[in-house]
Amino acid sequence: MNELGYLSALALGLVGSGHCLGMCGGIAAALNLGGARSLPVTIAYHSGRVLSYTLLGALLGVIAGSIDLVAWTIGLRYLAGLLLIAMGLYVADWWRGMLVLEQAGARLWQPVQRFSSRLLPIRTPLQGLALGLCWGLMPCGLIYSALAWSATAQSPLYSASLMFCFGLGTLPAMMAVSLGASRVQAFLRRRGLKLFITLMLIASGIWTLYLVAAHGDHLRHQAPGVEQGQMDHSTMDHSKMGH
């Protein structure tokens, strides 16, 4: 399941960032203010952006994993599947319910926005890195939904890895804005690519829901809060567990 999660995160970042260029692309384009394109500044900015996603994913993984309740763990697995479906619908413009997350994060973004505005125009790699670190708190439904989804993993390392893959997926679109590569932007906005990624995300979500429903008893044994002593391994038929 880890591989499926990583692929889903990459796909969401790839097409989702192209989908959201109208809202998020302005800051990336700001790297070219004054007509000076600095590759070190651009790399520093996008490195900070991916790092912000990764650190936030790790933080949410710690918070979600700190609750040692079986019902909580299984509920988060169901939430993960539903969020994958919702994100697929969001990318395809079939349902915009994820925008609720933007409204929830708007107040959090205001003080960060005041700080980040002082960094523009970007002239040094350090400024670019600082601006990139602010990016993860931007009121963007795509980013917030990916963060919420990564938190359902209940693991700092896995949640951080999912957000790192998501960040890597956003690089083509965001780098294209920073460097003025209009052809890349046009490719990522193609309807056919969006539809393919949408169907993949929805299928991943449905598969996740199926696994939780079909293997709920096994998940209860694996969930935090279930001690090894509670499991009578001597009576378990391991040949039927599908390992």
In a domain, 37, yes or no: yes
User: So what's the pLDDT on residue 64?
Assistant: 92
User: So what's the pLDDT on residue 239?
Assistant: 46
Rounded CA-CA distance 230/243 in Å is 20
Domain extent for 5: 1-219
In a domain, 225, yes or no: no
In a domain, 153, yes or no: yes
In a domain, 238, yes or no: no
Q: Is the dihedral of CA 52, 206, 79, 61 positive or negative?
A: negative
Element (H, E) at 186: helix 182-188
The tally of domains found in the chain comes to 1
Token output for 156: 């700092």
User: So what's the pLDDT on residue 103?
Assistant: 75
In a domain, 234, yes or no: no
User: So what's the pLDDT on residue 224?
Assistant: 46
User: So what's the pLDDT on residue 236?
Assistant: 43
In a domain, 155, yes or no: yes
Query: Can you state the angle between helices 70-91 and 2-19, rounded to 10 degrees?
Result: 40
User: So what's the pLDDT on residue 167?
Assistant: 93
Residues 6+ apart with CB under 8 A from 106: 139
In a domain, 117, yes or no: yes
User: So what's the pLDDT on residue 101?
Assistant: 73
In a domain, 236, yes or no: no
Per-residue pLDDT of the chain (243 residues; tens, 9 = 90+): 577 789 888 888 887 776 665 555 555 555 554 444 578 888 888 899 999 999 999 999 999 999 878 888 888 889 888 988 988 888 888 888 877 777 777 777 778 878 888 887 778 889 889 988 987 787 777 888 888 889 989 999 999 999 999 999 988 877 777 666 567 667 767 788 788 888 988 988 898 899 888 876 665 665 444 444 443 444 445 444 444
User: So what's the pLDDT on residue 206?
Assistant: 93
The closest alpha carbon to 202, from 76, 95, 86, 99, belongs to 86
Predicted structure pTM score: 0.77
Query: How many CB atoms are located within 10 Å of the residue 183 CB?
Result: 8
